[in-house]
Amino acid sequence: MISSLFARVGEALARLARPRWRQFLSLAIASCMVTVMVTACAVSQEDLSQNPSTPGGSGDRSLTVYTALEDDQISGYLESFKEQNPDITVNIVRDSTGIITAKLLAEANNPQADVVWGTAASSLLMAEQKGLLEPYAPAGLDAVNPKFRDEATPPKWVGIDVWMSAFCVNTVESEKLGLPIPKGWADLVKPEYKGHIVMSNPASSGTGFLSVSSILQNSPTEEAGWDYLDKLHVNIAQYMHSGSRPCKAAGQGEYPIGISFDYRAVKQKNDGEPIEPVFPVEGSGWDVEANALIRKPQIKEASKIFLDWAISPTVSAKYAESFAITAVKTDVPPPKGFPADPIAQLADNDLRWAAANRDRILAEWTKRYDTKSEPKT
């Protein structure tokens, strides 16, 4: 329609003999063309912000989700989200806590994730310090235990569950070697356990870090904590790069003892493996698996929908099938094998101290003990 109008005006212009009229009409046509172009640009900008199919717009229905949740948990957790939101595509990027933390910090100037789901609160506190998190109060926030969320209003992170350190003891291998089942951290430094223990590497694993952080925080002094870790190091055969790997190695009989975490120890026991979950008598190190909205120039509405769902009663009931402590209380009984009072099992822990001192702790740990780290693949 617009092109035919230009054609008719052009024909009229050609029939006009007077130069002055020819100049006037040329200016009029140019003005008309500029108006049309500006209007078209305005429409395009409106489409960018409102059209759900526009990549990168607030209505974009695809999400990139960074998570440190276990591989065998993710698909079961996501079932209800997919049922409720079939038009939203969720792209999961799963890795160990340390790797997820490093990615978030490295991408600070060009964030790739839309949300973080089920990653250590101590890591999210580091991201918060760098200004990488956007405050958001998800629907249902009132149901979240205040101990397991950011105290700010609106919060920058919200917890979903608590995970804690546990030992995975292979009872068959221990019996073969004549090793007693350890009861706590103090037992692990006894000489009979030398070369029989594997542990998560705190530089790559949130489970490894929460164990080290807990030992340092709950020792009479921090130096006493490092003295204990020196003694433990003598008995360690290898530091492994994920939180679950030491327990899996113990279950397969590679080593009799793996310092790992509660979900993995209990699950392997309940799946029939010769594993005895041991929750140390001194208390377990712990952290909160938490969610956050990543600060970006364009916040997708789908990101908020995901975070609303991530603390909903439906998925919280699924979390409770794996963990004894969930941020949203449910009627689901904890899996068999957890302590009778899981809250009492938690050692003293200052998450903000852990976050503020994480780099310093990891630098010191690496300097002292990295010679026994599992080779990177």
Number of domains in the chain: 2
Same domain, yes or no, for 200 and 329? no
pTM value > 0.75: yes
pLDDT tens digits, 116-130? 999 999 999 999 999
Q: Residue 319 above 70 pLDDT?
A: yes
| CB-based contact 340:327 (threshold 8 Å) | no
pLDDT tens digits, 300-317? 999 999 999 999 999 999
| Percentage of the chain exceeding pLDDT 90 | 82
Same domain, yes or no, for 167 and 230? yes
- For 119-185, the DSSP string reads EEHHHHHHHHHTT-EE----TTGGGB-GGGB-SSSS-S-EEEEEEEEEEEEEHHHHHHHTPPPP-SG
Same domain, yes or no, for 259 and 365? yes
For residue 304, is it within any domain? yes
For residue 22, is it within any domain? no
Tokens of 159: 């917890």
For residue 314, is it within any domain? yes
pLDDT tens digits, 43-56? 333 332 333 444 55
Phi, psi of 286 (to 5 degrees): -155, 165
User: What is the rounded distance in angstroms from the CA atom of residue 329 to the CA atom of residue 80?
Assistant: 18
Same domain, yes or no, for 222 and 180? yes
* Residue 16 confidence class, pLDDT cut points 50, 70, 90: very low
For residue 56, is it within any domain? no
Burial level of 317, CB count in 10 A (0-12/13-18/19+)? middle
For residue 21, is it within any domain? no
For residue 263, is it within any domain? yes
| CB-based contact 337:275 (threshold 8 Å) | no
Same domain, yes or no, for 176 and 249? yes
Same domain, yes or no, for 128 and 72? yes
For residue 26, is it within any domain? no
CATH of the domain at 196: 3.40.190.10
User: What pLDDT does 352 receive?
Assistant: 95
Same domain, yes or no, for 128 and 198? no
Nearest residue to 113 via CA among 93, 136, 141: 93
- For residue 144, list its beta bridge partners: 328
Same domain, yes or no, for 291 and 280? no
Residues, the chain? 377
Q: Which residue segment(s) compose the domain that 127 sits in?
A: 62-162+287-338
Same domain, yes or no, for 110 and 256? no
pLDDT tens digits, 321-349? 999 999 999 999 989 999 999 999 999 99
Same domain, yes or no, for 268 and 357? yes
Same domain, yes or no, for 88 and 177? no
| Percentage of the chain exceeding pLDDT 70 | 84
Same domain, yes or no, for 221 and 156? no
For residue 347, is it within any domain? no
